[in-house]
Structure 1
Amino acid sequence: MVFGKKKAQWSPEKSLRDGPEQTKRLSNLLKLRSEHDQAVAKTGWDDYQRQLHNNQMLKGLFKKLDPTVMKPIGDVKGEVQLSFKYDFNNDMLLVKVIKCRELANKDIRAKMSNFFVKLELLPDPLNQGEKRTQISRGTNCPRYDEIFGFCIPEHGLGDSKLIVQVCEHSLGGNDDIRGEVIICLNTFTFRSEPTYTAWYSLNMETDLSISGNLDISIAFQPPRTLLITVHGANDLAPRDEGQTADPFVKVAVSGCDKIYQTQVIKDSLNPVWSETFEFQIHEEEFEDKFVIFHVIDEDKKSTNDSLGQCVIELKDLNPEFGVHGSFPLADLRNSDKLRAKTYQSRIAQEFRESLMAHSVARAPGCLFKNHRGGKVVSVTCRKAGAKGKIRIVDGIPIY
């Protein structure tokens, strides 16, 4: 005879009673299953399959429109390899353009393109002008191995920049800039390291004509009120030479919903606003947040023009004294701050909701109707600064 505890029999009612979380999950699963069956029964199997196809198409398009990266995805990509050396005997900077890789065509239908590289020194007091490599034909990974020289004294390296642009040659004469790198020469110490060789990722073209300063102040009122005042701007650079501007300022804080905008000041390159905006932020959040100021020229006849941005990091803010000053404007489209995921997360959510609404409504019709042959669909989102293209071949999306 064996003595021991009597083995308890399993009871489904007891199991569910002892696991409320399990019960909740099972209930949700049954609910989703019921909604799925109702959707199929209501719309019909063919319509249900078409809706799945629409969702798949939009998911692929969303990946290309991902707003967590500000620069146009699929439009600017690739890298250029450069080598730098300084000739102390002749006061000359030597730049070797070695090669490029994974460049993007302007026309997605073209498999390969004809690329060349342009180099320009700024400032250029000797008017040496831009220098170009030969055109490399029929490849998206061209190799050049060409060396160029720029006359510049050693002490002039600290204030100089080298503009490197990868261009796509066009038979019509309108060459397209496919990406750009701006290299500050003060990062090199040729006395201790004679040669520098590195890969540089291409960015969007930077507008170096932007100038001027923005006068702002930031104050903090505990426990969670951040007051940002835009006082004015001075010496703005108009987009059209010899003309004036109608500027206004957009103010945003990374990770916050609100984006404020000042009034538009007509016909002024030295506008005065004195407008204050309020954000709800705890002091503990300052470490990971920053304020973005964007000066814009209003143009009611066409698209607005950017007059420059500046970024103030809140981690440097003294809550007791705040900050007040005049900050230089620049083209910061390629700044890591403007690409930060915290700043873009709200837009990403809007993308998902918008694309799902388009999928349900099957709009625009040109995207969802049955296509014969091939068709390219391009989508642009100005708010996120993103672009995307997909090709539909006989009704099948190719990403």
Structure 2
Amino acid sequence: MSLLVNSTVTGEIVFSSYSRNTNSSISDMSFSSEMDSMSPVSSLKSICPADVRDTEVQGSIQFALTYIQKLGEFQIFVVLCRGLAVADPKKNRTDPYVKCSLLPDKTKLGKKKTSVKKKTLSPTYNEVLGFKIPMEVLKIQHLNITVSHKDTFGRSSFLGEVDLDLSVWDFSNTQINEFPLTAKVKASLSSSTMNSRGEMRVALRFLQQPPQKMGEVQIWVKDCKNLLPVRGSMINPFVKCTVLPDMSSKSRQKTRVVKRTVNPMFNHTMVYEGFRPDDLREICVEITVWDQDHLKNYYIGGLRLGLGTGRSYEVDVVWMDSTAHEVNLWNRMLKSNAEWVEEVLPLRLLAGAANNVSK
């Protein structure tokens, strides 16, 4: 099987801002108690540091959310907590603080804390915790707000939490809302949220050139949506492609890098020549998405388009592992009579991927 390759290109809403002065009054700010009418989404597993001990959860927290478009900043105005549990019964004291985390971002960029308030069950904070993050990235995150007690040794005890799915949050709501604190739930985020690495819109076709028996596979990478930010909120994605079992450098093609977005538009066609129709049952198109950084590239996820038989040219191979949706797209191409077939497919981790190296 000879292989020739070719690569071508186809074809302010401003919300209210709160002062960062921690002594500012909230008397002039509207208050909307939504303990009865609103409830947080199912609680996620807290990502606080390992708590030494947990206390019975009770009480509530008041906060407001806003997105400052001109600054590209998400702000949580932590107002106060009410009716917290006693964390240290021997000393009859609670020294609470609030931590806000963006999930699934587990970097330090996704965590902010208030100051610790001493000896109080109803602490007042009036503090703003800010995250520099594009709105398009923010809308695929969960906000986890955790209240904890910090003892004299610096150890934390869990007092309660609130979790919000920001994909359904109304960002026009800049009022102060009150939520009841909930207990920690052992279950983590659902697989559709935590394991989601984004999706790709891709089209395929096979062009045979009579009277020759050889033809070419064309892969049209159109765009990606909701890519997982693997190193913080800002990513610079690009796509690499190879046709297995050929792992040589001549089989590798890639798109341009699209800067600072989780929803890149590529509109890039990759062409691989020199295939017989029978080869289409033995090969696999591996497409991977990467985040370009100054020092290295970070793997986000990928696709494998083929028949998913586990074998190639009578040899067992780990890369012939296409999912049902990926196999369906490949079968549609085989029957398409040189017409484009298109699908939006979820990106996934690829075991033993030929492209899973930083180059």
Q: What is the TM-score with the length of structure 1 in the denominator? A: 0.36
Q: What is the TM-score with the length of structure 2 in the denominator? A: 0.40
Between structures 1 and 2, the one with greater helix share? 1
Between structures 1 and 2, the one with greater strand share? 2
| Bigger Rg, structure 1 or 2 | 1
